[in-house]
Each structure stands twice: as structure tokens, then as C-alpha cells.
Amino acid sequence: MNNKVINVAVDGPAGAGKSSVSRLAAKALGFVYVDTGALYRAVGVNALRKNVDTRDKQAVAATLGDVSVDLVFEDGEQKVLLNGEDVSKEIRTPPASMAASDVSAVPEVRAFLFDLQRDIAKRTNCIMDGRDIGTVVLPDAQVKIFLTASPEERAKRRCLELEQKGTPQKYEDVLAEINERDYNDSHREIAPLKPAEDSVLVDTSFLTIEEAVASIINTVKEKTADEI
Ligand code: DC
């Protein structure tokens, strides 16, 4: 046992269950759960508020001059602040999702958010989820997981989630959006979504949330047996 900070990187496509699974696993391990997608979403919301075309990379980069994005943790829950304002709800709308995907392809945006993610990981045992955590942000993380599921299964889950939130959407539209975001996220030039070479692949298509959480916890325990 030593005092080294433990970092768990969880990457994977939209809707694979990264956030629910990571949140529960972090809780069970007593780690902080960090959702990095929220940062890209906040930058996306900022661009939308300024009526910027989020596919215009230069225009998006120009929005970074006078913006502050921060993560705070209250009772184990993450809140994302845009210029000090809590935008944790606003970042979850479908336009914010597409805007996040667009702005995440802008190198200046990735550079802008890099230190913030690194600093959090440096000081706390955490499970950090995103697209490039194991490959770019935390290449030295002790544990790297690539969490995935088929697009159809992910669309089904997203529909259920939206229905429960009272904002139902058609399955075909949700599936199309997932396919579009998958394509964007894995074909962009900078930090594309791909499994780190040393990551453990977890396919949740046929797993319950509990099974996926158990698989993450077991992997973390195995890989850090002498550290926790
Ligand atoms: O995980 P999410 O759906 O909240 O992420 C929103 C968008 O942000 C997603 O389209 C990809 C991008 N993203 C990224 O490029 N890198 C990360 N580490 C996290 C998210």
C-alpha cells in the first residue's frame, strides 16, 4: 500500500453506459467520478449562446478568449460551471450534444480543456470518462477501460433515458444521431475515439449495469492490488 493517486480512464462511444457505470464504480471504490464530456458540452453551449456556427473551427476557437469552464464536486456529484454559472442541465439537450461533438474536433478546444482534466487527476483518485482519456489525457493511468456497446443497443438505452426525463424522441432519430456522433468522434484528426493499446475492452451490449460496474471494479482491484 502506498499513497500514489489512482487514475482509471474510461473511454468509449456515446451511450455505452460510461457515465452510469463509472459513477457507480467510483462510488463503490470511494473515487471521484469525472465526466469530461461535460466540459466539451459547456464549450458547445457557450458557442450556441453566442450564435456561433459550431462547425466553423476558427469561430469556435475565437469563443475561448473570454470563457471560463470549471468542474466542482459537491457531495460526490459533479457540476459544470460556464463563466461561474451552473449549466449542468443545459448541457444535456440534443443541440448541446451535437455542439459538443463539433467543438471537440477543434484543437484549441482540446488544448484549452487539457490542463483542467490533468490537474483533477493529479490530485484525486478518480474514474475519468471521455473519449481520449487513456490515449491522450492520462496515458499513465493505472487502469484503462474501453466501454462499448452496439449502436442499436445504445440508441435503445438513450430512448429510454429520454423518455424517463419526459423528453421522448423517435428511435430512428436517436440511432441516426448516435451514428453521426460516432463517426465524428472517431474520424476527427485530433484525439479520435479509439481504444488505448493497453485498455481492457468491456462490451456492455449484453451486460446489466450491475454486471458492467462489477467488471470495472474487479479490473481496478486486479490492476492496483498493491496500491489500494
Ligand atoms: O460523453 P459525452 O456524450 O457527454 O461527450 C460529448 C462530446 O464531447 C462527444 O461528442 C465527444 C466529446 N468528448 C471528447 O471529444 N473527448 C472527451 N474526453 C469527452 C467528450
Cβ(132) to ligand 1 under 6 A?
yes
Q: Which of 22, 97, 131 best tests ligand 1's pocket when mutated (most atoms within 8 Å of CB)? A: 131
Query: Collapsing DSSP states into helix, strand and coil, what is residue 213?
Result: helix
The answer to whether residues 63 and 52 touch, using CB atoms and an 8 Å cutoff, is: yes
Cβ(88) to ligand 1 under 6 A?
no
Which residue's CA is the nearest one to ligand 1's atom 10?
Answer: 101
In 3D space, the residue among 8, 82, 14 whose CA is nearest the CA of residue 48 turns out to be 82
Q: Which of 23, 36, 45, 114 best tests ligand 1's pocket when mutated (most atoms within 8 Å of CB)? A: 36
**For position 168, what pLDDT does the model report?**
93
Query: Collapsing DSSP states into helix, strand and coil, what is residue 79?
Result: strand
Cβ(36) to ligand 1 under 6 A?
yes
Cβ(131) to ligand 1 under 6 A?
yes
Cβ(177) to ligand 1 under 6 A?
no
Residue type, 118: R
Q: How far apart are CA 109 and CA 161, in angstroms?
A: 28
Q: How far apart are CA 200 and CA 218, in angstroms?
A: 12
Quote the DSSP letter at residue 191.
S
Beta strands of 4-76 (E only): which ranges? 7-11, 32-35, 69-74
Query: Counting atoms of ligand 1 from 1, which one is nearest the CA of 100?
Result: 7
**For position 15, what pLDDT does the model report?**
85
Which residue's CA is the nearest one to ligand 1's atom 1?
Answer: 37
Strand order in the sheet with 143-148: 32-35, 126-130, 7-11, 143-148, 200-203
Which residue's CA is the nearest one to ligand 1's atom 20?
Answer: 37
**For position 1, what pLDDT does the model report?**
47
**For position 5, what pLDDT does the model report?**
95
Q: What is the mean pLDDT of each run of 10 residues along the chain (228 residues)?
A: 84 91 96 96 98 98 96 89 96 92 95 96 95 96 96 94 90 94 87 92 94 96 84
